[in-house]
Amino acid sequence: MMNKGKVFLVGAGPGDLKLITVKGMDAITKADVILYDRLLNPQLLMQAKENCEFIYSGKLPDRHILRQETINRLLVEKALEGKIVVRLKGGDPSVFGRVGEEAEELALNEIEYEIVPGITSGIAAAAYAGIPVTHRNYAGSFAVVTAHDQSADGKPSINWAGLAQGVDTIAFYMGIKNLPFICENLIANGKPSETPVILIQWGTYGRQKTLEGTLATIAELAKEQQFLNPAITLVGEIVKLREKLNWFEKKPMYGRQILLARSGVTESRIANKLRDLGADVIEFPKMKAKKERAELPNLSEYIDILFSSPESVDDFFALLKEEKLDIRSIPRNVYGASSKSIAKLAQFGIMASNMPNDIDPNQLLIIGEKNIEQVYENAHYFYTHEMIIDENYFPIYNRLFEDAAIESVIIPSSTAFTTMMTAAKKMNMDPVSFLKEKMLYCMGKKSSNATSKLTNEQITIPEKPTADELLHMMISQGEELTR
């Protein structure tokens, strides 16, 4: 009989990719199956191992994708198949996440499980709006409250008097629909009508949006501005601190929603920097490397060796080890096609550099992926892998594109552009419409030429093809747009 698997009930945090716990990320990387909700950042799933099964179990206000009973049953079934299963929820699974019901079902079926806490949005969204939920001068108590329940009208039945008179800071989850009901009950039970209120939509994302008012005004303001969920409603005098402490929305790239074209699998320095500066970044498409199992050539025949990518470095040294070849058999002149490749070579003790222009291609061995552009006609090529678009992630990208409003596209190379357009076509998106009315940033002439063949949109190229130069230019343009 097959051994039972294990289930991890994981809180994914509120949206910022870096707010997931180390233990939560560890569970994602080990999972065979992930059941995920709507209110987490789908880009966390990009960290899953190849061939992980994704099951969308998200709930929308007007419909349920999977009923809770079905989710419970799937957790048990997948674990009984001997798999590591992750139930991934936005925020913390114990805060309105039904983790109790799921844990009960697993315990009943004697399935091993762990609950991995996450940062709940009532605290995180408030912090990213510049509001600590407690402060010794403003609030010594804090409560999280569901803004809807399972009754026929969905209006929560709670101790309004105790809440209004006994709690300083109140965070209502997903309360936009019932906002008039909430405000009326708090006022009727003793909360002053001038009590400050803030609505925080998409908290901790670059697209975070806020709306301030009071218990007397916020419902009408939300209706006028068509403010929608997902949002937290924060009530209390502590909201006044936002004027002093609003830090996140002052970041230079706050509010920017950017698509970064990808053609590789290594971590993107540009994407990380943009997120640190406050932007939302979608890296598209997700790639995977299909290994090529060819026999290594006789390395002693070459004077120079060029590695086209960090992935090719890893694959090459793995082959050296597999074939029990001495590292000293590598040609004396070693080059990297990019700073990432050079940095990767340094990890193996090889101090490489950029390749000079006067190389004799007849004595040059290029190590790289199968679809690499063959710049040197007479050079010899050894393919370590082939980069393939991972279509398993297309449903996840559909969700990302639905929620985001992308206004800028960064195209690092002509290969990245071609790969992005191929993926868009596979997802039944029109490539021209995909780029329409977006700010396009190309890292050089090759990527610019490839892009201009498909679109008439204006293309901007930084003076130097570096991440720092690109970011400086984008920040400057953003400042001009907001003046």
Any residues with CB less than 8 A from the CB of 315 and at least 6 apart, and which?
289, 291, 384, 385
Fold for 6-119, please state it: Cobalt-precorrin-4 Transmethylase; domain 1 (3.40.1010)
Q: In CATH, which of 3.40.50.10090, 3.40.640.10, 3.40.50.2300, 1.10.3720.10 is domain 289-387? A: 3.40.50.10090
From 25, 174, 387, 421, active-site residue: 174
Note the pLDDT of residue 52.
96
CATH number of 257-286+390-482: 3.40.50.10090
Q: Could you give the residue range(s) of every CATH 3.30.950.10 domain in the chain?
A: 123-250
Mean pLDDT score, 350-378: 86
223 part of the active site: no
pLDDT-derived band of residue 483, with 50, 70 and 90 as boundaries? very low
Q: Which of 4, 23, 30, 59 is catalytic?
A: 59
Q: What is the CATH number of domain 123-250?
A: 3.30.950.10
* Residue at token pair 């890292």: 443
In the β-sheet with 380-389, what is the strand arrangement from edge to edge?
287-291, 380-389, 364-369, 304-307, 333-336
Confidence (pTM): 0.88
304 an active-site residue?
Answer: no
Model confidence pLDDT, tens digit, residues 125-162: 999 999 999 999 999 999 999 987 666 667 778 899 99
- 42-96 confidence digits (pLDDT tens): 999 999 999 999 999 876 555 556 889 999 999 999 999 999 999 999 999 999 9
Tell me the CB-side half-sphere exposure of residue 128, using CA atoms within 13 A: 28
Residues of the chain with CATH 3.40.1010.10: 6-119
Query: Which residue bears the tokens 């039972």?
Result: 4
Q: Of 32, 37, 92, 304, which residue is the catalytic one? A: 37
Name the maximum alpha-carbon separation found in the chain.
87
Query: Range(s) for CATH 3.40.50.10090 in the chain?
Result: 257-286+390-482, 289-387
- Mean pLDDT over the full length of the chain: 92
b/e map 179-205, b = 16+ CB within 10 Å:
bebbbebbbeeebeeebbbbbbbbbbb
Task: Specify the higher pLDDT residue, 28 or 296.
Answer: 28
Query: Amino acid letter at 427?
Result: M
Residue-wise pLDDT for 248-291, tens only, equals: 999 999 999 999 999 888 888 899 999 999 999 999 999 998 88
The answer to whether residue 59 is catalytic is yes
